Chains A and B, each alone.
Chain A
Amino acid sequence: MSIPTSSIEQVIPGQGSMAQPEVARPGRARRQRFRFLRSAKATTGLVILGIYVLLAIIGPWIAPYDPSARSNDLVQGPSADHWLGTTHLGQDVFSQLLVGTRSVIYVGFLAAIIATTLSVLVGIAAGYIGGKTDDTLSVFTNVVLVIPAVPLMIIITSTLNNVSDTLIAVIIGLTAWSWNARVLRAQTLSLRRRDFVEASRASGESTWRIIGFELMPNLTAVIASGFVGTVIFAVLSEITLAFIGVVNNGWNWGTILFWAQGQQALGQDAWWWFVPAGLAIALLGTSLSLINFGIDEFVSPRLRSAGKTKVKTAQGRTIRMRIGFTPVLESPMVQATRMVPTINTDGATPVAREAK
């Protein structure tokens, strides 16, 4: 599975200077929401994801064929009848892809909802309550984190015969929450020490009120980013399970790849059989990653890639903005009168002068 790519997920407790979420100020909330949408990455990601969700809903209705229906066109390339060709049983690959979208999106989102709920409960409780509760929950989180999730899922699903999509989502959800719980715990810990939370505690507000109204609004971005990351993980996991063949009821993109691999699509040069499903996964994954980049940059503006790193001065020189060397920009007239000195590098420092 892919390594979590969000920088928020890189927060490791006790490391100091990680990406800290900006504390939202009430008046700026609306403007900030707009700023998130203005990010080209996030918008692109959301549009692509929207198309997938739409296909998940209408896919089975607009599919030209029953994905399991056999025909006499065995392993045919793309044609007007079969846009993405056919399988070894003459099934329509395009229909399989369309119908399979629903299962992928359903499992991805359900698993992410389960995992996010768990991570919020465990992470915030550990970070906010602290003490023995924190110790216990942290050890628990780390144990789940370290045990390899995919082999565990493979064993559980193959032990339970004929698992439904919902059960798969539950299994994935139960194994995939730990990373986000860890991140949320670290964020809660750092927020808890901030003045406004301390003030609420001192003024005797109830724990639930503080968590609901003081902490949660400031954790929204982190939770959202964790959710999106978990959707990616869940989708890849479901497809992996289907590809291995431990889950084999109904169609999803993994099932298509399972049959393609099992029926030697490679050997028959039947690229239409395995390429589209993989591209569908990659595109979905990319769109989710883009959304996460948008959230990331929204949370810590420093990470915004490139942006304005180069400046054109009045003389047409290009100067790079970089740390440690502040650019000097000014009108050409002043520049012309400026004397450029030469420093004698040998014995430039007083230490050396003294040594002589």
Chain B
Amino acid sequence: MEPVLEIRNLNVDYGLGDRAVQAVRDVSLTLHKGEVLGLAGESGSGKSTLAYGMTRLLAPPGAITGGEVIYHPEQGSPYDVLALSDRALRQFRWAETAIVFQGAMNSLNPVHKISTQLTDVLKAHEPKLSEHSRNARAREMLKLVGISTDRMDAFPHQLSGGMRQRVMIGMALILQPQVVIMDEPTTALDVVMQRQILGQLIDLRERLGFSVIFITHDLSLLVEFSNRIAIMYGGRIVEEAPAATLYRDALHPYSKGLLGSFPALRGPRRELSGIPGSPPDLAGMPTGCSFHPRCPKAFEPCSTAIPVLGRPDIPDGAGRSVACWLHPAEQPVG
């Protein structure tokens, strides 16, 4: 499969100089054309920081301290998003990668109509488009996400939470980007609405052919809706595998713990376990594998050396990677 976005050794800090706290460390991740890549972890694992960091939207005092984010455009040669000038970055944004944010309620500007917020993207990126075609395109997007076009002139407060999130999805697709990043897109919604919207999104992906990075703490959603899943802990990726493989046979004790903390939707019943302890404080990361204080299987190397993310030493190890001393890497990734 062709890659569309490659994150290479990305490091993101909060704060500067001595007081800096490393929130994302040495993350490498590849998103392929047309796939849904799930990114899971507890809060504080760095998954949202990763999403904001790679788009350079992280608010101060966040700073990117290293790495590359290589984007493969439909035409032309790949380039590093982190090296773009402000002007180029503005053009890149939304046209190539759009984002649906966590706070569905606050993502829309309360004082402007839906139509204004849909068309101002077109105005900024396609100045040559006439007003008529801008409006037509905005209406088309609303239809696409199942909102009646007579809501064009509505203000955000007149829409329900689910409708607002649909508007955001429609807005994300209005320039037909190759990549859509979704940061906890449905957390604020009820379960029925969650599945409805995600189902719709998967449909749209099949029709329009964009790729999705789907970030959530809810691993059960990822198992259902994504192709591949990456698990983050303490700012690092600890395991990455096809969704079905991970669900069936997670290798990292942390992944197992996450999987054990929600009831199975299909298939045989499993025992609910959960993970003892709490996520590490970014300012005081444990030495070695940062999960070792909570890990039921921690042994001698775990507290001293950081395990490398790589292909595990098991028979079906192809296409997956893990960072755990239980399964030392055969071939490190990156």
Contact = CB atoms under 8 A, between A and B. Distances in A.
Interface in B234-278: none
A323 B61 CA distance: 9
B83 A354 contact: no
B91 interface: yes
B148 to A, nearest CB: 23
A352 B65 contact: no
Nearest to B78: A341
Given A323-B59, A325-B56, A348 B84 contact: no
A156 interface: no
A311 to B, nearest CB: 6
Contacts of B125: 348-349, 351
A343 B176 contact: no
A328 to B, nearest CB: 5
B281 interface: no
A351 B137 contact: yes
B52 interface: yes
B315 interface: no
A330 B129 CA distance: 39
Contacts of A344: 76
Interface size class of B (residues with CB under 8 A): 35 or more
Interface in B14-29: 16
A330 B9 CA distance: 12
A329 B11 CA distance: 10
A324 interface: yes
Given A323-B60, A330-B66, A349-B125, A311 B16 contact: yes
Interface string B69-87: 0000011110110111110
A206 interface: no
Interface stretch (A52-60, A158-166, A272-280, A331-339): A331-339
B80 A338 contact: yes
A349 B62 contact: no
B66 A334 contact: yes
Contact of A326 (B53, B95, B177): B53
Nearest to B75: A353
Interface string A243-259: 00000000000000000
A24 interface: no
B80 A339 contact: yes
B79 A311 contact: no
B63 to A, nearest CB: 5
B126 interface: yes
Given A323-B59, A339-B83, A351 B52 contact: no
A327 interface: yes
Contact of B52 (A326, A338, A352): A326
A334 B68 CA distance: 10
A321 B60 contact: yes
B66 A326 contact: no
Contacts of A33: none
A350 interface: yes
A43 B113 CA distance: 47
A239 B74 CA distance: 72
Interface in A142-168: none
B193 interface: no
B123 to A, nearest CB: 12
A345 interface: yes
Contact of A351 (B59, B92, B122): B122
A313 to B, nearest CB: 10
A326 B126 contact: no
B64 A328 contact: yes
A3 interface: no
B60 A341 contact: no
Interface string A297-339: 0000000000011010000000001111111111100100011
A350 B62 CA distance: 31
Contacts of A327: 63-64
B107 to A, nearest CB: 14
Contact of A350 (B86, B88, B91, B176): B176
Closest A-B pairs by Cβ, 8 of them: A341-B79, A350-B176, A349-B95, A321-B60, A326-B58, A326-B56, A328-B64, A349-B175
Interface of A: 308-309, 311, 321-331, 334, 338-345, 348-355
17 contacts: A308-B16, A311-B16, A311-B63, A322-B60, A326-B53, A326-B56, A326-B64, A327-B64, A328-B56, A328-B63, A330-B65, A334-B66, A340-B83, A351-B122, A352-B128, A353-B74, A354-B176
Given A349-B125, A352-B128, 15 more contacts: A309-B60, A324-B57, A325-B56, A326-B56, A327-B64, A329-B63, A338-B68, A339-B79, A343-B92, A348-B91, A350-B74, A350-B178, A351-B122, A351-B174, A353-B74
